Structure 1
Amino acid sequence: MDINEQTRRFIAAHRTEQVRDIALHAHPEDGTDLAVALDCIEGWQRARTKLPQWAACEDIIYPPHLAMEQCSSQSTAQYKTDLAQRLSSGAPHPTTLIDITGGFGVDFSYMSRVFDRAVYIERQQHLCELAEHNMRALGIGNARIVNADAAAILDELPPATLIMADPARRDAHGSRTYAIADCTPNMLAILPKLAGIAPIIIKLSPMLDWHQAAQDCNRALDDAATPAAVSEIHIVSVHNECKELLLVITRHGAEDGETDTFPLVTCVDDDTVFSFHAQDTAGTKAQERKQLRHNTQPTTLDQPAYLYEPNASLMKASCFDLLAQRFGVTQIDSNSHLFVSDKQVDAFPGRAFAINAYGPVKHTLRGIKQANIAVRNYPASVAQVRKRYHIADGGDTFVFLTTMSGKKTAFVCVKA
């Protein structure tokens, strides 16, 4: 797929302008493909922040809006590349990556660099044409582009070191889907065959419950000829926004036991990493969890103390008892998911605040005119709180409204 010179000149001349204004007011020269130009301009503008290395490559052709919206960011693609490199470490050469849901090719463009060979499979022809052009533009010489429905050619797949899958989370009408079985392809239907080929990384919606996702995949793998199970779960956030849920499926021998063994869960937010085995939050720790819950009310806040808000990946993982154990902090209530301590814990994976005041909401908020407000397990929204107490947004003060021992409580803080 190539762009003619007229279209290239138009893109270069207008790519920093608003796409809507260009569409309404621009007067392209004859031969300019305006639809392609607008897609490339909008795509490049998104790529400047989402994919800066791609944006720096002048010859990239960008797809329509939806493909750009769904593709990985540079940081999450690099994370999957590091994961793929670790999973394939020690594999015999030549190593081969198969991406069965190629899409725009961002993950493939990064992951392919740590393999000797890489196969991109995509059922939409125009995305295959884009990928062939863009991989060449990016200097990736080990890629083979295949226009096919991977689910229909499972028996034809070559031997592989690793399989990557990012099933489309849109139905035939373009509506969002989240359940694994509702995505395309239905990974639950093809996992038994894929597991016999190579380890698998599946990228799923961050909206999914990771426990249920792992259970669904393990049930699907019960009928696999090659024993396999979910061995790792990665919850990936960028700048405290949960972006991806990754499942790693690997083979195991009969000596490894049942397929419902507990996977390693890794919570990532930028450079912060927190890992635990899922068994640490299961029934085997029931007595410890009961004791932790019994000790959820803070008792040592007479002097200014510290409040902690776990990052987005930890919130998704719901490993709150483990946080209390590892960092020596105390949950203020079992459903509030906020923690306190007498002394500052520098390594806590999330935001840390120094507490200036805490107590009943009305009394504690008296005199506050501006603050950043968050509510946790509290019967009113941020907007309702602002309206009721006449508090403007912004400033250096942070207010957390929550429920502690059944009482509505406010914490007034500043960043630690």
Structure 2
Amino acid sequence: MNTNILDRPVQEFIRDRSHTDPMSILLKPAFFKEVSNKELVRQIEARNKCKDKLPIWHNSPNIYYPGKLNIEQTSSEATALYKAKLVAGTSLFDITGGLGVDSYFFSNKIDQVHHCEMDGELSKIAQHNFTVLGKTNIKTHMGDGIAFLKNSPIHFDWIYVDPSRRHDAKGKVFLLSDCIPNIPKDLATIFKSAPNIMIKTAPLLDVSAGLKELQFVKEIHVIAVKNEVKELLWILKKGYTDAVSIQTVNLYPTHTETFRFMPHEEKLTTPNFSAPLEFLYEPNASILKSGAFKTVGNQFKLFKLHEHTHLYTHQELLTFPGRVFRINRVVAFNKKEIQQLQLKKANITIRNFPMSVAEIRKKFKIKDGGKDYLFFTTDMYGEKIVVHCHKV
């Protein structure tokens, strides 16, 4: 950590060059004696990445930014704020602290937060930024979080962990046992230090696979931001053996879409089917990731188009956690009928359909964009259809 970066002239340079071409900085003679041009570019690029994802960090003076990869891997402020709403108590231990975004928001709800990070440089950066941001109730520890718990007499209300995949596990099926730390292996150790555990995983982890690897799972939260799934949160409570509930969350700046269900209910639910009616309903990404394909339809009294087509329909306009469309016309999937729609431009979505969007655009010469939406899908009779609609 080069503390010269925090000098006022350097900080002003970084703030004033947010739109400057990095090469124009790298190719010029050194601007500062103690800070290289390469370090300046790293700070500028990392700060720019924080603009939308971490506005508090971006807008605060004297923040020291880590590498771009650390910014990409950290939680966003939106997801960190959501996580903080799930905890309560006097103490929390963050095993894999990283940049400290989650610890920062946990500290707004918890009296004392302990931030642990193996990377010495990143630990120092997090500690500096906590001070700049006025956080006096976060204590930083450099080292292995699991080793810390084994040697510490402190008992916490919560333990939070964000395991990362080992490099030799890339390309394989995502398993928690392939991550650092190995949560299934270390679960007993963690529970000795706290009754509640929150685990953050990438959306790549399959929900059923995670349930097989973990014990005492109470809740799973599937978090999407602007309809893109970002995280899975696993809430574990020591000794919990009742049914698991799944909460889906789709965060927008102005509102939040939520849906809750129980996995065992999904297995027992029988969907109702129908041909397309007046309105078409498309669940948001967090619901689709959760696997609530039958439950969401039945809870909202919707009809499914096909067992494997996760689109729903109803004759009335309902409030729904996802996109809603008014159906204009339904045609069979053949060239003559599609050409009769007379569309040169449309937004195309495929659901339970054998062709890709790119193949459809090429075959029917339909450009992307506009106010028309085409859903290429399969109906309850197994027939390939095209649903032409407009967004409500």
Given the two structures, how large is their TM-score scaled by the length of structure 1? 0.86
Displacement of 1:210 in angstroms is: 1.1
Q: Report what 2:329 is aligned to.
A: 357
Conserved in 2, the CA contact under 8 Å of 1:170 and 1:176? no
Q: Alignment partner for residue 246 of structure 1, among 233, 249, 252?
A: 233
Counterpart-to-counterpart distance in 1, 2:296 and 2:344: 33
Q: Report what 2:245 is aligned to.
A: 264
* Letter paired with 2:58: A
Conserved in 2, the CA contact under 8 Å of 1:310 and 1:351? yes
Matched, 1:134 2:111: no
Q: Report what 1:306 is aligned to.
A: 279
How high is the sequence identity, in percent, across the aligned residues?
A: 33
Q: Report what 1:125 is aligned to.
A: 120
Report which stretch shifted further, 32-41 or 324-333. Answer: 32-41
Q: Secondary structure of the equivalent of 2:306?
A: coil
Displacement of 1:55 in angstroms is: 1.0
The Cα offsets for residues 48-97 of structure 1, whole Å up to 9 and x where unpaired, read as 1101122111111111111111001110010011112xxx2xx4xxx111
Query: 1:163-242 residue pairs with structure 2 within 5 A?
Result: 163-171=159-167, 178-198=174-194, 199-218=196-215, 229-242=216-229
In structure 2, the gaps of 5 or more residues are none
Matched, 1:297 2:270: no
Conserved in 1, the CA contact under 8 Å of 2:331 and 2:338? no
Aligned-CA RMSD value: 2.0
Q: Report what 1:274 is aligned to.
A: 259
Counterpart-to-counterpart distance in 1, 2:77 and 2:323: 24
Displacement of 1:243 in angstroms is: 0.3
Conserved in 1, the CA contact under 8 Å of 2:347 and 2:373? yes
Q: Alignment partner for residue 326 of structure 1, among 283, 299, 313?
A: 299
Displacement of 1:145 in angstroms is: 0.9
The Cα offsets for residues 96-144 of structure 1, whole Å up to 9 and x where unpaired, read as 1100000111111111221111111111100111011000011000111
Conserved in 2, the CA contact under 8 Å of 1:214 and 1:247? no
The Cα offsets for residues 329-384 of structure 1, whole Å up to 9 and x where unpaired, read as 11101111001111111x21100000001120234421111100011111111111
Q: Secondary structure of the equivalent of 1:297?
A: coil
Q: Report what 2:34 is aligned to.
A: 31
Instruction: Check 1:29–1:155 CA distance in 2 against 1; reply closer, same or farther (3 A cut).
Output: closer
Q: Report what 1:222 is aligned to.
A: none
Conserved in 1, the CA contact under 8 Å of 2:93 and 2:160? yes
Displacement of 1:42 in angstroms is: 1.0
* Runs of 4+ residues over 4 Å off in structure 1: 172-177
Q: Alignment partner for residue 102 of structure 1, among 97, 103, 124?
A: 97
Report which stretch shifted further, 50-59 or 240-249. Answer: 50-59
* Letter paired with 1:401: F
* Letter paired with 1:135: F
In structure 1, the gaps of 5 or more residues are 219-228
Q: Secondary structure of the equivalent of 1:113?
A: coil
* Letter paired with 1:179: L
Counterpart-to-counterpart distance in 1, 2:62 and 2:171: 32
Q: Alignment partner for residue 151 of structure 2, among 137, 151, 156?
A: 156
Conserved in 2, the CA contact under 8 Å of 1:364 and 1:410? no
Counterpart-to-counterpart distance in 1, 2:126 and 2:172: 24
Conserved in 1, the CA contact under 8 Å of 2:377 and 2:385? yes
Counterpart-to-counterpart distance in 2, 1:174 and 1:377: 28
* Letter paired with 1:357: R
The Cα offsets for residues 265-296 of structure 1, whole Å up to 9 and x where unpaired, read as 100001011111222123xx2xx42xx2xx42
Given the two structures, how large is their TM-score scaled by the length of structure 2? 0.92
The Cα offsets for residues 267-326 of structure 1, whole Å up to 9 and x where unpaired, read as 0001011111222123xx2xx42xx2xx4232x73xxx1001100000001112111211
Instruction: Check 1:22–1:245 CA distance in 2 against 1; reply closer, same or farther (3 A cut).
Output: same
* Letter paired with 2:164: A
Conserved in 2, the CA contact under 8 Å of 1:117 and 1:143? yes
Counterpart-to-counterpart distance in 2, 1:277 and 1:395: 38
Conserved in 1, the CA contact under 8 Å of 2:11 and 2:62? no
Q: Secondary structure of the equivalent of 2:214?
A: helix
Matched, 1:377 2:373: no
Q: Report what 2:18 is aligned to.
A: 15
Q: Secondary structure of the equivalent of 2:219?
A: strand
Q: Secondary structure of the equivalent of 1:16?
A: coil
Displacement of 1:18 in angstroms is: 3.3
* Letter paired with 1:411: V
Conserved in 2, the CA contact under 8 Å of 1:320 and 1:337? yes
Query: 1:25-64 residue pairs with structure 2 within 5 A?
Result: 25=28, 27-64=30-67
